Amino acid sequence: MAEIKYTTADPKGVLTGIHYMDGNHAACEGALAAGCRFAAGYPITPSTEVVERFSARIPLVGGVFIQMEDEIASSICLQGAVWAGLKAMTVTSGPGISLMQEHIGLAACLETPCVFVNVQRGGPSTGLPTLPGQADMQQCRWGSHGDYEVIALSPSTVQESFDFIIDAFNLAEIYRVPVFFMMDECVGHMTEKLVIPEADKIKVVERRYTSKPPEEYLPFKPDPDLVPEMVKAGDGYRFHVTGLTHDERGYPVINAQAQKEMVYRLVEKVEKNAPKIWRYEEDEVEDADVVVLSYGISARVALKAIEMAREKGIRVGRMRLIVVWPFPEPRVKEIASKVKAIVVPELNIRGQVAREVERIVEGTCRVVRVPHAGGTVHDPQEILDAIMEAAK
């Protein structure tokens, strides 16, 4: 089995120092630090600044940016670059991510390690191009047809836009899945302090290339962790990959057995490795009556409400998801067994994450949704009201 090979960032891509920049630019710098040397994108608000910066920076670092003719093209162009050996991303929002869905399925099926940055805006359709939403959280999980599994991270700050996109690239390499970096308009356009460390302080995962000779190599034969080793075009393996259901050789096999073997592994390689992928932040959860569970910009807005509630003497804990998918089911179950209620503020009205919490807690505690249609963030008072109600 290929061990995970950590290395440190290539200093060429690392803008070490203290900066004042917005989340979109920070995400671009994070991607460069992570070793991303290829981006394909198409202009769309509110994400465009990521690729604008990439197009300015990459000629000085060594790599390629190409503005493709649409998002469909961008979302497969980057996969070509990955199979030629580069780390690559595409960046989009709203209608753009809808257009990319087919190729998210392709990335899942070909097990192309790559990063899709989605700076979420209000929808549906053209919706609110310049204003925030968190209403793509289920789309990123289920958006393409068929069974597969992805990983999604969500930053709340500019610093995290830098830090966590590096993790997104690393997770993509470890598990060979498309990883979603679920930003939102607020985080993307918010300007604050960013500290970029020295390159040798940044941990980067190398691609899990096989050491097997071509005659022994099977492109989709998994290691014990269910992830297959990779090769790239030009290395003499003369391999085949297809979006059709395929066997370990990568050859199409159109029957129920092959389908079962393939889709179960695509799902299980994330599900079974989930304990290594889950990532969340907690505070004062242990003796809480109410826990506020959130992510991205909403988790940040919730901080104020939590502070206000604590001033009123309510015992409120906080759980913030950094990795949203896979969802930390056992931990949420455990919390549910100890609290009166879990309050879930998010910028969508159908409870895209709240619904997942409801499913997991199975009525053990109340789940209080704090829906918001997007266009702005919650008023902390709304979240406070929900906490007060939940604490009753």
Q: What is the DSSP letter of 252?
A: B
Among the listed ranges 163-171, 190-198, 244-252, 271-279, the one in contact with another protein (CB under 8 A) is 244-252
Does position 343 bind another protein by CB under 8 A?
Answer: no
Position 34 contacts another protein (CB under 8 A): no
- Residue 116 as a binder of another protein (CB under 8 A): the answer is no
Q: Is 89 in the site for another protein (CB under 8 A)?
A: no
Q: Is 207 in the site for another protein (CB under 8 A)?
A: no
CB distance 190 to 13 below 8 Å: no
Tracing tokens 């020295």 back to the chain, one arrives at 198
**253 is a contact residue toward another protein (CB under 8 A):** no
**251 part of the interface to another protein, by CB under 8 A:** yes
The reply to whether 146 sits near another protein by the rule CB under 8 A is no
List strands edge to edge, sheet with 280-283: 280-283, 316-321, 290-295, 341-345, 366-370
**Part in contact with another protein (CB under 8 A); list of ranges 67-75, 262-270, 329-337, 381-389:** 67-75
The distance of closest approach from Cβ of residue 106 to another protein in the complex, given in angstroms and rounded to an integer, is 6
Q: Which of 14, 33, 44, 76 binds another protein (CB under 8 A)?
A: 76
Give 206 or 225: the residue with its C-beta nearer to another protein.
206
Tell me the C-alpha distance between 115 and 36, whole Å.
Answer: 9
**Length of the chain in terms of residues written:** 392
Q: N- to C-terminal Cα distance for the chain? A: 53
Span interacting with another protein, options 75-83, 177-185, 260-268, 280-288, rule CB under 8 A: 75-83
299 touching another protein, by CB under 8 A: no
Count, residues near another protein per rule CB under 8 A: 47
Tell me how far CA of residue 37 lies from CA of 34, 41, 90, in angstroms: 9, 13, 11
Nearest approach in angstroms of CB 136 to another protein is: 21
Among positions 1, 5, 43, 69, the unique one binding another protein when judged by CB under 8 A:
69
Backbone angles phi and psi of 283, in degrees to 5: -150, 135
Question: Which listed residue (78, 153, 288, 324) binds another protein by CB under 8 A?
Answer: 78
User: Is 237 an interacting residue with respect to another protein (CB under 8 A)?
Assistant: yes
245 binds another protein (CB under 8 A): no
Residue 24, C-beta contacts closer than 8 angstroms, at least 6 positions apart: 46, 47, 48, 49, 50, 53, 119, 161, 183, 188, 189
For another protein, which residue of 85, 127, 143, 222 counts as binding (CB under 8 A)? Answer: 85
Amino acid identity for residue 71 in this structure: E
Q: Count other Cβ atoms within 10 Å, centred on residue 257.
A: 10
Distance CA 181, CA 206 (A): 19
DSSP 3-state of 357:
helix
Among 84, 195, 349, 373, binds another protein (CB under 8 A): 84
Q: Does 79 bind another protein (CB under 8 A)?
A: yes
Quote the least distance from Cβ 246 to another protein, whole Å: 9
**64 forms part of the interface with another protein (CB under 8 A):** yes
Measured CA to CA, the distance from residue 62 to residue 42 in angstroms comes to: 21
Contact status: 373 vs another protein (CB under 8 A): no
The CA–CA distances, whole Å, from 143 to 108, 180, 253, 300 equal 12, 12, 24, 26
* Contact positions vs another protein (CB under 8 A): 12, 37-38, 40, 59-64, 66, 68-70, 72-74, 76-86, 88, 102-103, 106, 232-244, 251-252
